[in-house]
Amino acid sequence: MNKSIKLSSGQIFMMALAIGLAVASNYFVFPLIEVTARYFGMNVASSGMLITLTQLAYALGLIFLVPLGDLLDNKKLIVSLYVVVGISALLIAFASDLWLFIAGLVMVGAFCTVAQVLMPLAASLSEPEQRGRVIGTLMSGLLLGILLSRTFSGMVAHWWGWRTVYMLGAAMLLLMALILQCKLPHVQREHSTLGYWKTLVSVWSLLWRTPLLRQRGVLGALDFCLFSVLWTPLTLLLSHAPYHFSLSTIGLFGLFGALGIFGSNVGGWAADKGHTYAMTIVCALLFLLSWSLLYAGGVHLWALIGGVILLDFAIQALHISNQSLIYRSDPALKGRITSGYMSMYFIGGVLGSLASAMAYAHYGWNGVSLLGGGVATLILLCALFFKCERIS
């Protein structure tokens, strides 16, 4: 890879914006699960499965699409995937039945993994001593995309209907594809002797023989599991007793979660200073504290808001710590490293979403909080057990 290309601050901002938009497209549905379930005649109680489906599609995209970053021209791949995501959003916007709606969600979920092709590309072009901060900036874009998508989706759906959310989303995605075609640097990549299937197999081989990647993958899976445990049933909690909030108000909760952007910055700073192990332990303790607040948040709004802010802060700080470590290896392996780590990350999200939906259906918010506390405890135990992986 041509390391003579350096990213300007404008290019980093553009890539952060692009990453946020791509990931946001997969999260527009979160505040809409109840209204779309009613529209298509779906059982509202099981509507949380729509979120599980989008995350499963994302995990499959990570496994089968992201490794293409090690085989194909990155710029052409990235622009093409943005076009496909934009077209998929249009399919959702004009879906005439539930199956077309689900097909669109699956396509958006799978192809918006373009964000994970952009992320390692930027990391590989940044200076080693600044890599943590660059990744932190890009993750800030990703986090804002995930969380502000709820605000955007809730507000637009409240005033103009849920289909308008995806019409506007498609327009922004296709515009971003055009911007990236004009502004994204072209990187001369080294020729790979591996074919597509051998590249996929090598992802899991890399995980098996690299303890650092494997251990950080486990922590990443548990990290995103906690994210899904919170956000999957949150819309249902807020739309029913004791809150009874409207779609627009529910969407505003994304603003509270967006304060977790500071976690990205803190995690990047800690990684650049060589304090990833200490940050991992701190994050694990913050997880436990946040779920104590969220448990009370079932009836107390102040505790719910505080728990959301604290949990998202710790989630982002741990994620940045993980990525800053794993991207210190060979840039030629960036696609496979990303695929391996992020596959584990989103598989954890899928399991968290599924477990959370079941916990809420059977035990309500208290069950969700206890589930979150259990996962947080497991993260702390893993962080202590993985102490030997520390890189100074």
Average pLDDT over residues 3-32: 84
The reported pLDDT for the residue numbered 276 is: 82
Cβ within 8 Å of residue 302, ≥6 positions away:
none
The reported pLDDT for the residue numbered 392 is: 34
Mean pLDDT (the chain, rounded): 84
**Whether residue 196 has pLDDT greater than 80:** no
The reported pLDDT for the residue numbered 194 is: 63
Contact between residue 237 and residue 296 where contact means Cβ atoms under 8 Å apart:
no
Range ranked top by mean pLDDT from 56-70, 242-256, 294-308: 294-308
Average pLDDT over residues 179-204: 74
Higher pLDDT pick, 339 / 58: 58
Q: Provide the greatest CA pair distance for the chain.
A: 59
The reported pLDDT for the residue numbered 390 is: 42
pTM metric for this prediction: 0.73
SS3 93: helix
SS3 262: helix
Q: Which two tokens stand for residue 115?
A: 């964000």
Task: Name the amino acid, one letter, at 175.
Answer: L
For the stretch 334-386, pLDDT in tens is 667 777 887 888 789 889 988 998 899 899 999 999 999 999 999 999 988 88
The reported pLDDT for the residue numbered 129 is: 65
Kindly indicate the confidence band of residue 293, based on its pLDDT and cuts at 50, 70 and 90.
Answer: very high
Higher pLDDT pick, 40 / 328: 40
Q: Which two tokens stand for residue 44?
A: 């509202």
Closest to 253 measured CA to CA, from 291, 319, 309: 309
**Whether residue 190 has pLDDT greater than 70:** no
C-alpha of 130 from chain center: 22
For the four alpha carbons of 375, 381, 384 and 390, in that order, the dihedral sign comes to negative
Average pLDDT over residues 210-218: 87
Kindly indicate the confidence band of residue 188, based on its pLDDT and cuts at 50, 70 and 90.
Answer: low
3-state secondary structure 279-292: HHHHHHHHHHHHHH
Task: Name the amino acid, one letter, at 87.
Answer: I
Give the integer Cα–Cα distance in Å for 349 and 357: 12
**Whether residue 64 has pLDDT greater than 60:** yes
CATH number for the domain running over 9-389: 1.20.1250.20
The reported pLDDT for the residue numbered 171 is: 97
Rg, C-alpha atoms of the chain: 20
When mean pLDDT is compared across 35-49, 54-68, 343-357, the lowest value belongs to: 35-49
For the stretch 105-162, pLDDT in tens is 999 999 999 988 888 787 777 776 666 677 778 877 887 887 788 889 988 998 999 9
Give the integer Cα–Cα distance in Å for 109 and 62: 10
Extents of the domains making up the chain:
9-389
